[in-house]
Chains A and B, each alone.
Chain A
Amino acid sequence: MFRPSNHLILKEIKEKKLKNLLSTVTFFLFLPALIIMLWLFVKGSSALSLDFLFMDPIEGMTAGGIFPTIVGTFWLVIISVLVACPLGVIAAIYLSEYAKDNTLTRIIRLAILNLAGVPSIVHALFGLGAFVLFLKMGTSILAASLTLSVMNLPVIITSTLESLKAVPQSYREASWNVGASRLQTIRHIVLPNSIPGILTGVVFSVGRSAGETAAILFTGVAFYLPFLPQSVFDQCMSLSMHLFTISTQVVGVPDAYPYATALVLILLILSMNSLAVALRSYFRTRRKW
C-alpha cells in the first residue's frame, strides 16, 4: 500500500501554512477598503440629508449643502465622456481592425501606454497650456472636461480594444466571405457584438473622472461659485475639489461635512462601478460565443 513518507507530509503541512498565510495577507489587504467605507458611512451619514444634497453651500462653505458641486461634477463628466468616448472607440477600431503589425502601430501602443501613465498634474499643466491659454477657452467647464477626456482616452481605448478583440475572428471572416467590406463588417458585425464591453469600459471611466481632482484644478473648477454654470464657458464647482477645499482650506467646517461629501462622492463612483460590473455580468451570460 502507498503511504506518504514523512518528507511528503511535512511538505503538505508547509503548503497548507503557506496557503493560510497568503489568504490572510490578501484578506487584510482588502480590509482597509471595507473599514474606510464603513467609517465614512458612520461619520458622514449624520450630515447626509436631502437638504445637504440640494442646498447651496452658505456661510463661507461651513454650512448648507453641496448641490452646485454635484451639478458641476455632472457637467464635467458628461462632456468629457461625450468627447473621449467616440474618439476612443474609433481609435480602438483602428487598432483592432485596420492596423498592421508595423512600427506605426507599435508607436501608437506606446503612446497609449504613456498617455495612461502621465501624472494627472501634468495633464492639468497640458490643459492649462493648450485649452485654457492657447485655444483661449479660459478656465471653463469645456477646458476642464477636455483635459479629463485626454486623461480618459487611454482607458477607453484599452477597454474597447479588449472587447473588440473578444469578437471571434470567424465572425469577421464569415462576413467578408459574403462580400461585406471591412467597414460594413465593423458596422454590422463587430460593433454590435462588442457594445456591452465598450459600455462597461465607458461607465468605469465615468466613475474615474468623477473623482479626479488634480487635472481640473487649474482648468475650470472654482473653490466657490455663488451661481450654477449656465454654459460650457462658465466655471463650475466639483465634488472632489469641494472635498479638498473643505477638508484643508476652510476653517470652522463642522466635522461631519467633509465626511458626508466624501461619502456622496464615493457612492456616486461606486454606483457607476456597480453598474459597470452588473452590465458586464449580464452580457457575459448572453454572449453568443
Chain B
Amino acid sequence: MEIKLTETPPLTMEWRKKKGSKPTGERIIEALIKIAGVSSILLIGAILFFIVKESYPFLMGAFDFKEFFFSTEWYPASVVKIRYGILALLCGTVMVTVLSMLIAVPLGLACAFYISEFCGPRLREIYKILIEFLAAIPSVVWGFIAIMMINPAIIKLFNVPIGLNILNASIILALMSLPLIISVGEDALRAVPETYREAAEALGATKWEIATKVLLPAAKNGLMAASLLGVGRALGETMAVLMATGHSIQIPQSIFEPGRTLTATIAAELGESPKGGEHYQALFAIGLVLFCLSFIVNLTADLLIRGKRQ
C-alpha cells in the first residue's frame, strides 16, 4: 500500500483530493440516498419490533410453550378456561402448503423446462405474458373462485358433503404459486451457460438428456430455490386460504376435511378481539411465528441461489 502511494504522481494526488471534496448540497443528497438505501433493513426491523412489542405481554404472561405449540385447543374466548394452542392451525398450514407444493412444484418445474428449453421465442413471450397475468390475479379473487367454482366441482367429483377443505385450498394455492415457481425456475435454467448445452449437444445428447443430465444438476440450487419461494408464498397466503379451507379448528384427518391455517386465524379473529387484550396479543404471537417461518424459508432460498452463483 505504501509503495503505491509514493509511486502516485503528485498531480494525481492533488486531483484526487479535489475530487474528494464535494459540494455540500451533493453531500446531503448522497446521505439521503444512503438512508433510503438502508430503509428496507429499518423496515424489516420495525416489523419485527412492532410484532414483538404487541405480543410481548402475552409472551411474558399467559404464554406456555408446551401448550402453545403442542395443544390443538384454540379457545381464546372460552368462558371456562381460555386456551391458546396452535397445533391444529400449524397442521392446517403445513398440510395445505405441502399438498399445494406436491401439485405445483413438479408441474411448475416441467413448465419452466418447457418454456426455457423447448418452445420457440414467440411462444415464450406469450407464455411470459400469461404468467404475469396469472400472477396478477389477486388472492381475494382466488378465494372467490375457490368458493364458487372449485367447491361445487369437488363436491361433485369426489362425492363429499363439503367442498371447502384442505384439497380446495391446496389447488388454489398451487395455482397461485405456479407463476412464481415457473418464472424463478426459468431464470435458474437460463442462468446455465449456453456452452454447457452446446458441449452436450456436440456429444450427441438429445434435449431430454441435456435437460436431465446437464441442466438439472447445473440448475439444481436455483430450481430448489424456486420451489422454496413457492412454499413461502403458500405459507403466507391469507385471503384465498381463509375463504377456501372451510374454517374449522381441528387436525384434518383427510384432505377432504376442512381445516384452518395460521394466517386465516389472524385475519378472521383480529377484528373481533379487543385491542390490547390477551387474545389480540396471542394473534400477534401467531404473527411472530409466521414471520419466523417465512424468514427461514426465504433465507434458505437466498442461500441456495447465492450458492449457485458462486
A223 nearest in chain B by CB position: B271
* Contact stretch, chosen from A16-24, A52-60, A62-70: A16-24
A contact residues around B239 at 8 Å (CB): 213-214, 240, 244
For the complex, count residues of A whose C-beta is within 8 A of B: 82
Is B43 an interface position by the 8 A CB rule? yes
Q: Are B111 and A29 in contact (CB under 8 A)?
A: yes
Interface residues of B in 49-82 (CB under 8 A from A): 50-51, 53-54
Nearest-Cβ distance from residue A92 to partner chain B, whole angstroms:
9
Determine which of A95, A104, A211 lies in contact with B139 in the assembled complex, contact meaning CB atoms within 8 Å: A211
Determine which of B34, B118, B294 lies in contact with A122 in the assembled complex, contact meaning CB atoms within 8 Å: B294
Is A167 an interface position by the 8 A CB rule? no
Q: Are B29 and A30 in contact (CB under 8 A)?
A: no
Determine which of B33, B39, B107, B287 lies in contact with A98 in the assembled complex, contact meaning CB atoms within 8 Å: B33
Q: Give the residue among A26, A98, A107 with the most B Cβ atoms within 10 A.
A: A26
User: With contacts A119-B237, A183-B29 known, is A207 near B136, CB below 8 A?
Assistant: yes
Determine which of B229, B236, B267 lies in contact with A217 in the assembled complex, contact meaning CB atoms within 8 Å: B267
B298 nearest in chain A by CB position: A117
Q: Are B46 and A126 in contact (CB under 8 A)?
A: yes
Interface residues of A in 93-108 (CB under 8 A from B): 93-95, 98-99, 104, 107-108
B contact residues around A98 at 8 Å (CB): 30, 33-34, 37
Is A220 an interface position by the 8 A CB rule? no
Is B127 an interface position by the 8 A CB rule? yes
User: With contacts A94-B36, A115-B40 known, is A23 near B147, CB below 8 A?
Assistant: no
User: In whole angstroms, how far apart are the Cα atoms of A93 and B295 in the complex?
Assistant: 25
Nearest-Cβ distance from residue B227 to partner chain A, whole angstroms:
14
Is A82 an interface position by the 8 A CB rule? no
Q: Are B130 and A118 in contact (CB under 8 A)?
A: no
Contact with B along A192-203 (1 / 0, CB 8 A): 000000000000
Q: Are B40 and A108 in contact (CB under 8 A)?
A: yes
For the complex, count residues of B whose C-beta is within 8 A of A: 79
Interface residues of B in 107-124 (CB under 8 A from A): 107-108, 110-111, 113-115, 118-119
Q: Are B139 and A213 in contact (CB under 8 A)?
A: yes
User: In whole angstroms, how far apart are the Cα atoms of A269 and B139 in the complex?
Assistant: 12
Q: Are A91 and B36 in contact (CB under 8 A)?
A: yes
A contact residues around B137 at 8 Å (CB): 33, 36, 211, 266, 269
A contact residues around B302 at 8 Å (CB): 109-110, 113
A contact residues around B271 at 8 Å (CB): 217-218
A contact residues around B214 at 8 Å (CB): none
B contact residues around A270 at 8 Å (CB): 133, 136
Contact with A along B266-310 (1 / 0, CB 8 A): 110011000100000001100100110011011101100000000
Q: Are B138 and A269 in contact (CB under 8 A)?
A: yes
Nearest-Cβ distance from residue A265 to partner chain B, whole angstroms:
6
User: With contacts A29-B111, A248-B243 known, is A258 near B144, CB below 8 A?
Assistant: yes
Interface residues of A in 102-146 (CB under 8 A from B): 104, 107-126, 128-130, 133-134
Q: Are B37 and A129 in contact (CB under 8 A)?
A: no
B contact residues around A154 at 8 Å (CB): 40
User: In whole angstroms, how far apart are the Cα atoms of A16 and B303 in the complex?
Assistant: 36
Q: Are B50 and A130 in contact (CB under 8 A)?
A: yes
Q: Are B130 and A119 in contact (CB under 8 A)?
A: no
B contact residues around A61 at 8 Å (CB): none
A209 nearest in chain B by CB position: B138
Is A262 an interface position by the 8 A CB rule? yes
Q: Are A157 and B32 in contact (CB under 8 A)?
A: no
Q: Are A23 and B114 in contact (CB under 8 A)?
A: yes
Q: Are B114 and A214 in contact (CB under 8 A)?
A: no
Residues of chain A at the chain B interface (Cβ within 8 Å): 11-12, 14-15, 18-19, 22-23, 25-26, 29-30, 32-33, 36, 39, 87, 90-91, 93-95, 98-99, 104, 107-126, 128-130, 133-134, 150, 153-154, 157, 181-183, 204, 207-208, 210-214, 217-218, 240-241, 243-244, 247-248, 258-259, 262, 265-266, 269-270, 273, 277
Can you report 15 residue pairs joining A to B where beta carbons are below 8 Å apart? A90-B37, A94-B36, A104-B38, A109-B302, A111-B40, A111-B44, A113-B302, A114-B295, A114-B298, A118-B236, A122-B51, A126-B51, A211-B136, A211-B139, A218-B271
Residues of chain B at the chain A interface (Cβ within 8 Å): 22, 26, 29-30, 32-34, 36-41, 43-44, 46-47, 50-51, 53-54, 107-108, 110-111, 113-115, 118-119, 127, 129-130, 132-134, 136-141, 143-145, 147-149, 175, 178, 206-208, 229, 232, 235-239, 243, 263, 266-267, 270-271, 275, 283-284, 287, 290-291, 294-295, 297-299, 301-302
Known A39-B149, A243-B144; 20 more pairs at CB < 8 Å: A11-B206, A29-B108, A30-B130, A30-B134, A32-B175, A95-B37, A108-B37, A108-B40, A117-B295, A122-B290, A126-B47, A129-B53, A181-B26, A208-B138, A211-B139, A211-B140, A217-B271, A258-B144, A273-B132, A273-B133
